[in-house]
Amino acid sequence: MKNSSVLLQWEEVLCSSIPFVPINIAANEIVKISLHKSESFEPEKNRILSCKLLGTLATRLDPKTIEDKILSRIVYLCQDTSFTVRKTIAEYLPDVAKGIGPSRTKTILSTEIFQLVNDETKEVKQTALVSLLEILEFFDSNFQRRDILPLFLKWMKHPPLDIYKILITHFGKLFVKLSSIGLDEATIGIFATFYSKMIASTEVEVRQACAFNFPGVLYCVGAKRFSTYLSKDFYNLCCDSHVETRRIMAASFHEVSNILGAESCNFMKDRFIHLLHDPNQDIQEKIVNNMYIILQNFKLSHNAKVCTRFI
């Protein structure tokens, strides 16, 4: 047990030393250790260590050295027979992508990432999905539209049980990034429908994730579509039975009013009063702290007379 503890500490020291050792040591001695431990005949724990070492090396080495010395082994580890190894290397793929740049990420890493997000093991799929979300901007608009968007649309229509929580946790960021390529009305509707289904979840953590992502979703959907797609969702989240969900909505209430602008009073005034009188003091304070911004947006309303009682 003592030897195992010492070995673990040594491994942690080795990984954490990579950013600080001379580059020639990183590119030679540590690369050599990493490649040796990644061999298929090595124990699983050694292959896991090699994932950590190679992933960290990708943050230190120049693109040519990465491609010449370690990239093929990283790809090899993505196909390892151990799901724990695949999960570990999936976690480091954003670092590898940043190390080799967008062009090589698209031509070399994209195939591995897509295979990992469709892995048979839940843990691998979840980790790979988070990594894919982190490097979406590495892919050009055509690639995103042709290869990435269809994948997410499939998941929106039929949310997989093993990754829907990851999807909703990062939903705002995903929606914003994919909106940059230009989404048509039907696609926006698919995203909004998925989001509404998640708000109806009986799981508190899912509804909290929906509340956290509401400003990002509204930004993508747009104020003009609020009544069509998000009005009911906004009401439900502000009236959620769980305090934390309502607190998150109260904390971002001013952001929502900024996006809605002149329409904010018409759509938000009832929920404004509701949260302002919430039995939880923290929720009340979240509204009061940003009341000036909220009321300034209410004043922009085309129906300003209705809002004069707030000002």
Residue 55 lies inside a defined structural domain of this protein: yes
252 part of a folded domain: no
Task: Give the residue among 200, 115, 218 at the shortest CA–CA distance from 164.
Answer: 200
Helices 44-57, 2-17: crossing angle, 10 deg rounding: 20
Domain CATH code at residue 54: 1.25.10.10
The pLDDT value given to residue 218 = 98
Better-predicted residue by pLDDT, 308 or 191: 191
- In percent, the amount of the chain with pLDDT more than 90 equals 88
Distances (CA, A) of 37 to 51, 77, 308: 9, 11, 70
Q: Is residue 18 part of a domain?
A: yes
Dist. CA 65–CA 56, nearest whole Å: 14
Nearest alpha-carbon partner for 175 in 198, 147, 194: 194
User: Which of 87-91, 113-117, 145-149, 307-311 bottoms out in mean pLDDT, i.e. has the lowest?
Assistant: 307-311
Model pTM?
0.88
Four-residue CA torsion sign, 270, 275, 279, 281: negative
Rounded alpha-carbon distances, angstroms, from residue 225 to 49, 230, 263, 267 = 49, 8, 11, 12
Residue 7 located in a structural domain: yes
- Mean pLDDT of the 114-135 span: 97
Average pLDDT, the chain: 93
Instruction: Give the chain's domain count.
Output: 1
Q: Does 16 map to a domain?
A: yes
Distance CA(71)–CA(67), nearest Å, equals: 5
Residue 81 DSSP one-character state: S
Whether 162 is in a domain gets the answer no
Q: Examine residue 50 and state whether it is found in any structural domain, yes or no.
A: yes
Percent of the chain scored above 70 by pLDDT? 94
> 10 Å Cβ neighbour count for 211?
26
Query: Which residues have C-beta within 8 Å of that of residue 276, sequence separation ≥ 6?
Result: 284, 287, 288
Domain that holds residue 96: 1-137
pLDDT of residue 10: 76
Average pLDDT score over residue span 261-269: 91
165 and 205 Cβ atoms separated by less than 8 Å: yes
**Which of 230, 242, 234, 179 lies closest to 205 in space, CA to CA?**
242
Summarised one tens digit per residue, pLDDT across range 198-237 is 999 999 999 999 999 999 999 999 999 999 999 999 999 9
Give the confidence band of 16 by pLDDT, cuts at 50, 70, 90: confident
pLDDT confidence tier of residue 1, bands split at 50, 70 and 90: very low
How far lies 181's CA from each of 75, 133, 140, 184, 218, in Å? 28, 15, 9, 10, 17
Does 52 score more than 70 pLDDT? yes
